Structure 1
C-alpha cells in the first residue's frame, strides 16, 4: 500500500528545457549584405555610373533611402545575428552623418534678428499656372525685401510687375527670370553660363550694410539620361563664387538639383544653405506632395535668422523664404 501511495519521482534530467531560439544564418547574411550595400550607396553615390539615368535618380532620392533602415533593423533583430545588427546600426550612423545636420531645426541655434536683415523670397511660378500675380502677392506679404521669380513668360512678367513695381521700385529681368527689390539694384546683367541662355541674373544689391551680390538662377531641366546642360550650368555657377568680389553673396532660384545631387556639390561646398525653421528637408517639388528640393537659397558672409517654404499661387513649386543677418 505504501508503494502505491508513494508520489512518482521524476529525475531532473527528465524536466523539459526551455526552447532556444535559433539564429537564422541565411536571413542574417542577406541583411548584412543589404546593410553594407546601403552604406556604400549613401557614402559613395557620387561614384555610381550614370547609366540609364541611374545616377540622377539615386542622387535625387538619397534622403529617402533612410526609409530602408528601420526595415533592416527589424530583420536584423529577427535574424538574431550580431553581425547583421551591427551592419544595420552602422547604416543608421552613415545616414545620420549625411543628413541629420541638414534637418536640425534652424531655431535651435539661429541668432535673433537684429540690426539690418535681408529677406529673400523665391519661386518657380510655373509658366502654365497662370498665377504668377498670386505668387507675387503672397511673396510680398512675407515682407521680403527681394523677390526672385523663375519660369515667367511675357504675360506673367507683366502681371508680376503690376503687383510689385509700386512697393519694389528696383527690378531687373531677362528671359524667364526676374528680381524685384526694395534696395537699389546695381551692375545688373545677364549671367553668362556659357550656354547663351537667358536663365540667369547677376547683380549687386545696395543695402544699408553694403553691397550684396545676388544671383537669380533657373537651371536647365534634369531628366534621367538628359541633364548634361544642367550639369554644365551648375559647374559654371560654381566658378562664379570664388571670383565674386563682394563679401556677402546670395544665390537663389530653381537649380533643378537636390542637395544630394553630385553636380550640386561644388556649389554646396562654397556656400551655405540655411536649415528649415521647423527642421526637415524643406522639399519644394511637386508642391502637392514634395519629395525633393530643387529650389535653393545659398549664401555666404551672413547668418541665417529664418528659412521656410510656403505655398504661393498654383505653381508646382513651393516658394522659399529666408531672412539673413547682414
Structure 2
C-alpha cells in the first residue's frame, strides 16, 4: 500500500501545482496585457506591472520544483511581461566632455511643511534648475526664502515653481485644459544652449476620476509637439506610472528619460517607493545620468537628471 500511495500522492501534488501555475500564469498574462488598455484599467495595470515580474519568478521556481513541463506555459506571460516592461526599463549612465545641465524635480507635498527642507537639501547638491510641485502659499514662500539667494531666476504659478541659476528669457503659465494653472514653461538661457523647461503637476487620479490628468497629459503632448525649441525638458509629478497608456502621446513627442542608477526609478511613496509617478522627458539633449534622491519630508523622492548640452 505504501509503495502505491506515495506515487499517487506525488502525482496529486504535481496536478495541484500545475493548476495553480496555470491559473496564476493566466492572471499575470491578463494583468500585463491590461497595460495597453486606455483608462483606469491601463493606469492600474501600469502600477503593478513591475511587480508582476516577482510573481513570474516565483512561478518559475515552483515549476522547476514541482512541474517542469509547465515551464513552456510560463514562456508566453514572461515574454509579454518583458515586452510591456521594455519601454520603462533602466538605461545606462554616460560620460561627456560637453557642458551639462542638471535638473532636480520634486513634489514637496502641500501643507506638509517640508518645502523649506526639501529646497535646502536639493540646493545643497547644487543643481542648475530646481522644479517644485504641489506648492501651496506657505510652501511657496518657504521655498523662495530658501532658494532665491542662490537661484536668482525663478517663476511660479499655481502649484508649480522653477528656480534657475541661469536667466529665464521667457515664462508662461499653462492650464493644459484645466480651469486653473498647474503647469508652466520657461526658457533657461545657459551659457551654451537655450533649453525649454516644462514643469507639470498633473491632476490626481482616483477611481472614476482621471479625466483631468489625461486631459493635461494629452495637452502637454500637443504643446511640446508644436514647441520650436531645439532642446526641451519636461519634469514634475505626472501622476502616471511609467508604463501608463496615458503617457503614450507624450512618448511620441519626447523621449522618456530612463533611470541610469540600476533601478526603475520609483519615486512614491518615499518611505517605500513602489512606483514611479514623477517623470522626466526630454528632446534634443543627451542624458548623462538619471536617478532619485530623498529631500525633506515629502512623500515623493526627487528626480535628479543631468543632461549634456
Q: 2 CA distance for matches of 1:26 and 1:127?
A: 51
> Secondary structure in 2 aligned to 1:128?
coil
Are the counterparts in 2 of residues 57 and 224 from structure 1 also a CA contact under 8 Å? no
Contact persistence 1:36–1:87 (CA under 8 A): no
Cα RMSD after superposing both structures: 2.4
The aligned counterpart of 1:3 is none
State the partner residue of 1:272: 255
Give the conservation status (yes or no) of the 8 Å contact 2:35–2:41.
Answer: no
- Which stretch of the first structure deviates more once superposed, 57-66 or 290-299? 57-66
1:248-267 residue pairs with structure 2 within 5 A?
Answer: 248-267=231-250
CA distance in 2, matches of 1:277, 1:55: 25
Q: Distance in 2 between matches of 1:61 and 1:223?
A: 16
Q: Deviations over 1:1-28 (max 9, x none)?
A: xxxxxxxxxxxxxxx9xx9775945643
Structure 1 position 68 matched with structure 2 position 55:
yes
* Counterpart Cα distance in 2 of 1:41 and 1:77: 23
Matched, 1:39 2:29: yes
Shift of residue 132, structure 1, vs aligned partner: 0.8
Aligned partner of residue 276 in structure 1, secondary structure:
coil
- Alignment length (residue pairs): 303
Larger Rg: 1
Q: How far apart in 2 are the matches of 1:93 and 1:322?
A: 30
Give matches, 1:149-164, under 5 Å: 149-164=132-147
1:177 paired with 2:167, answer no
Structure 2 gap segments, 5+ residues each: none
Q: How does 1:133-172 map to 2 (within 5 A)?
A: 133-172=116-155
Rounded Cα–Cα distance in structure 2 between residues aligned with 1:45 and 1:165: 42
Which ranges in structure 1 are unaligned for 5 or more consecutive residues? 1-15
**In 2: Cα distance, 1:162 partner to 1:26 partner:** 64
The match for 2:299 is 316
Q: Is the 8 A contact 1:247 1:301 kept in 2?
A: yes
TM-score, with structure 2 as normaliser: 0.89
Q: CA deviation at 1:136?
A: 0.8
Please, what TM-score do these two structures have when normalized by structure 1?
0.85
Offset at residue 153 of structure 1 (A): 1.4
